[in-house]
């Protein structure tokens, strides 16, 4: 940790926050305690003249972070996915952060590509354009593959960006540790956890092989999704600092006039956007977590094209089932079942009252369902739901926060295409179908089948495992009644597994 550099960077940060008027906005959003406010003012007020002025047309927080540079911009974008940390108001403000920066020269980009791919750019590409987009971490060029004549997009990391980010992330860690040491009351903000989360996101974006892998997995999951496609990764021309993928031709999802000119039905398009996202989240557990209009295009035939896979969300199978059953319960207005699901999943402490929790959930759902159908918002419902569960002691679950944030964005995209969309009508078939396949009888049989496969794989080892357990037990001098009960438990478990396996096998005969 470089102390002098970190102290200087924090002084510059505090000065910029103070000069742009963002200091109080940030401190209030974090509900910072008095010691933190005192130190922040100490680092900002006297040195305000050292702060960057920024663009006065921007809101204070986005103005300050944009002025402070790429790492701060990216940090703000990541925090926009964590309203549980910064509050809803600041999260909304941070979502509009744009990381557009001046491009670096095309000659520099070519040198980076040659260094990464080990051959001259002119050998790989017959045409290579000036930058068509430049962000904080990388920029994109349009090119033509010499071998096939295919048009591609080539993403290249900024030279030295890893070292620049490392310096600023180092300062972020330094600040988080100061907060942790000198302001114990602020530990509930989990400052080090927040920086570690940011560090993980950035490390992923600074290795384009990981983004390529995400794009490849996403493509494999969605290959059969009608009306949806992704640019294909060109692995032969991709590396840690370079990613090459097919060129996406189409109009911006945010340009309704251009979409109308294509003759595409915007009502159907809006429904498809929402249903695709829900399918990816529930069916696959792997979804595009930055699915705003800037990352979506509409092809001439009406297909939705998604790109930029730097931020992806992952939800395990069990969490997907819980999430789907919660949504399904709200759709049916079965608040008692929604409450029970929270308790069964361990989201809410067992010492809380399930009936009281169900009444709190009703207070969330009924006002929303009482709205005009076109004003019903699943994103708003999830936001209110997290507020209630927090009051009942539910710990923050980062994957659900990211899902909720992406739901807000996707819902906004859908409503921009069709302001009169009924969110529940569109979502209900996807959620209901998932419930049938993942929670109903078929799901039970599937789980039993998986159990049978595990038993078949480890069955030959069971005698040895039991014998080893008995030897350890004898060495530990366990009282004689315990082996008897252990045998009973083992026999019961084996009986259930064997019975399930036979039942599953019978279904397939």
Residues identified as active-site: 290
Q: How far is CA 207 from CA 143, 161, 177, 406, in A?
A: 21, 11, 27, 23
- Other beta carbons within 10 angstroms of residue 257's beta carbon come to 7
3-state secondary structure of 154: strand
Contacts of 223 (CB under 8 A, 6+ apart): none
Residues 125/118, Cβ–Cβ less than 8 Å? no
Beta bridge mates, 229: 305
Residue 90 backbone zone (phi > 0: left; psi -120 to 50: alpha; other: beta): alpha
* Residue tagged 């790492």 (tokens): 71
Written as six digits, the tokens of 244 are 């090459």
- Other beta carbons within 10 angstroms of residue 129's beta carbon come to 14
Q: b/e string for 364-390 if b means 16 or more Cβ within 10 A? A: bbeebeeeeeeebbbbbbbbbbbebbe
* Residue tagged 């911006």 (tokens): 252
- Other beta carbons within 10 angstroms of residue 179's beta carbon come to 22
3-state secondary structure of 69: coil
Cα gap 163→184, rounded to integer Å: 31
Which of 220, 250, 197, 174 shows the shortest CA–CA distance to 79?
A: 197
Written as six digits, the tokens of 70 are 């790429």
Cα gap 283→407, rounded to integer Å: 15
Q: How far is CA 8 from CA 51, 74, 174, 183, 366, in A?
A: 11, 20, 12, 21, 52
Residues 317/333, Cβ–Cβ less than 8 Å? no
Output the CA torsion 138→95→383→376 (10° steps). Answer: -110
Cα gap 173→487, rounded to integer Å: 51
* Residue tagged 């478990």 (tokens): 493
Q: How far is CA 87 from CA 25, 30, 32, 486, in A?
A: 11, 7, 12, 50
């Amino acid at each position: 940790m470089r102390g002098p550099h970190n102290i200087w960077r924090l002084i510059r940060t505090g000065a910029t926050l103070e000069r742009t008027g963002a200091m109080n906005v940030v401190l209030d959003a974090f509900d910072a305690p008095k010691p933190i406010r005192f130190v922040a003012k100490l680092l900002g007020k006297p040195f305000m003249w050292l702060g960057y002025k920024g663009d006065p047309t921007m809101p204070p927080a986005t103005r300050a972070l944009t002025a402070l540079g790429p790492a701060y911009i990216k940090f703000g974008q990541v925090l926009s996915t964590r309203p549980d940390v910064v509050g809803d108001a600041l999260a909304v403000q941070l979502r509009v952060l744009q990381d557009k920066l001046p491009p670096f020269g095309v000659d520099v980009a070519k040198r980076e590509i040659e260094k990464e791919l080990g051959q001259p750019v002119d050998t790989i590409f017959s045409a290579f354009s000036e930058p068509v987009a430049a962000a904080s971490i990388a920029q994109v060029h349009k090119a033509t593959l010499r071998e096939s004549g295919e048009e591609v997009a080539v993403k290249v990391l900024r030279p030295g960006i890893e070292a620049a980010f490392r310096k600023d992330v180092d300062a972020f860690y330094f600040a988080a540790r100061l907060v942790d040491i000198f302001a114990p009351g602020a530990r509930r903000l989990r400052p080090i956890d927040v920086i570690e989360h940011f560090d993980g996101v950035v490390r992923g974006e600074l290795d384009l092989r990981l983004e390529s892998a995400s794009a490849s997995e996403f493509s494999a999951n969605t290959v059969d999704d009608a009306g949806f496609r992704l640019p294909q990764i060109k692995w032969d021309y991709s590396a840690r600092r370079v990613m090459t993928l097919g060129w996406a031709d189409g109009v911006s999802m945010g340009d309704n006039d251009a979409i109308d000119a294509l003759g595409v039905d915007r009502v159907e398009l809006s429904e498809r956007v929402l249903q695709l996202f829900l399918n990816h989240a529930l069916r696959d557990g792997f979804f595009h977590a930055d699915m705003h209009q800037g990352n979506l295009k509409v092809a001439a035939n009406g297909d939705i094209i998604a790109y930029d896979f730097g931020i992806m969300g992952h939800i395990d199978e069990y969490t997907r089932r819980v999430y789907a059953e919660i949504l399904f319960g709200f759709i049916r207005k079965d608040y008692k079942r929604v409450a029970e699901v929270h308790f069964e999943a361990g989201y809410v402490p067992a010492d809380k009252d399930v009936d009281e929790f169900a009444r709190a959930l009703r207070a969330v759902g009924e006002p929303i369902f009482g709205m005009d159908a076109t004003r019903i918002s699943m994103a708003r419902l999830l936001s209110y739901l997290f507020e209630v569960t927090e009051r009942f002691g539910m710990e923050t679950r980062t994957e659900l926060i990211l899902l909720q944030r992406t739901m807000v964005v996707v819902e906004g995209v859908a409503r921009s295409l069709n302001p009169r969309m009924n969110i529940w009508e569109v979502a209900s078939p996807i959620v209901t179908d998932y419930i049938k396949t993942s929670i109903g009888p078929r799901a039970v049989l599937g789980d039993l089948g998986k159990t049978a496969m595990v038993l078949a794989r480890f069955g030959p080892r069971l005698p040895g495992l039991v014998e080893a357990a008995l030897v350890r037990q004898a060495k530990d001098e366990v009282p004689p009644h315990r082996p008897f009960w252990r045998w009973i438990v083992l026999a019961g478990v084996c009986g259930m597994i064997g019975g399930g396996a036979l039942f599953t096998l019978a279904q397939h005969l």
